[in-house]
Chains A and B, each alone.
Chain A
Amino acid sequence: MKIPARHRAGITILEPKGKITIGVGDVALREAVHEALEAGSTKILVNLKDVSTIDSSGIGELVSAYTSVTNRGGALRLLHLPPKVQDILQITQLVTVFEVLDDEEEAVASFAD
């Protein structure tokens, strides 16, 4: 599975679909972020609108991606959290780490700050 990516105003927008779980979407997410970083993009927006399930492995990949991008002086933000993903981010207290946005226009504008 390859995660679709599009580009807007210098931002890479990743749009995973379905599961980000152990052995299913976690590696695909890691590869997509790695590819974006290799291509020189350090502004990454992950649109989670179509993600049905995320487990601790998927959360671990999001955290790892966040750290990789931040360490390069960039920013990784999340867009359109489905309730089940939001719930897991609350439980793991990662809502305090990630910047989460509900509107793509606002999200794109936020990278210009």
Chain B
Amino acid sequence: MMMSELKVHVEVESRLENVELVHIAIESSLAELELSDDDAHQIGISIREAVANAIKHGNQGDASKLVRVELGIDDGDLLIRVQDQGVGFDENGVPNPLEPENLLRRNGRGLLLMKQYMDQIEYTFQPENGTVLEMRKGLAVLRSNSAKQEEERQ
């Protein structure tokens, strides 16, 4: 799917300290959209979790492999794409962190948070290009801008 009005393009090596770097880079771009505090927080957490997963699980912490993050607007939705250079990811292989036996595990809550905070998340794997995670969130501020632009066109 093509993104329109692409806002951000960030590419980092697979080092965990780069999670913070990506978040900072994206926060400043999100500020332009004048999102609510809650939306900005939920998007920030989702991006952090996606990038951390791409570094740890996708690229297995191999710093020579890159994680690419794209942020754009598509049809009134915020669209976030996080791509790694790993060998794929089985979403169904992640233990449910809400099961009583998993509640006290240290790890495994990132996917749950992304699913909760975004409207839609989808993983696709391409052998030559690694795993791409696409996340969407409908935002009132983007939809009203999109409607205004449509009115101006007519």
Contact = CB atoms under 8 A, between A and B. Distances in A.
Interface of A: 21-24, 53, 55-57, 59-61, 63-64, 66-67, 84, 88, 91-94, 96-97
B120 interface: no
A66 B106 CA distance: 10
Contact of B116 (A22, A24, A60, A91): A91
A78 to B, nearest CB: 15
30 contacts: A21-B19, A21-B20, A21-B48, A22-B19, A23-B16, A23-B17, A23-B19, A23-B20, A53-B41, A55-B45, A55-B48, A55-B110, A55-B113, A56-B52, A56-B110, A59-B109, A60-B105, A60-B106, A60-B107, A60-B109, A63-B104, A63-B105, A63-B106, A66-B104, A67-B104, A84-B41, A88-B113, A91-B116, A92-B98, A93-B98
Interface of B: 16-17, 19-20, 41, 44-45, 48-49, 52, 97-98, 103-110, 112-113, 116
Contacts of B48: 21-22, 55
The 4 closest A-B CB pairs, nearest first, are: A56-B109, A60-B106, A56-B110, A23-B16
Contacts of A21: 19-20, 48
Contacts of B110: 55-56
A57 B52 CA distance: 9
A74 B107 CA distance: 23
A24 B20 contact: yes
A93 B44 CA distance: 21
A88 B38 CA distance: 12
Contacts of B103: 93-94, 96-97
Contacts of B45: 53, 55, 88
B113 A56 contact: yes
B37 to A, nearest CB: 9
A60 B105 CA distance: 7
Given A56-B108, A56-B109, A56-B113, 13 more contacts: A21-B19, A21-B20, A23-B17, A53-B41, A53-B45, A57-B52, A60-B106, A63-B105, A64-B106, A91-B113, A91-B116, A92-B112, A92-B113
A91 B20 contact: no
Contacts of A93: 98, 103
Contacts of A59: 109
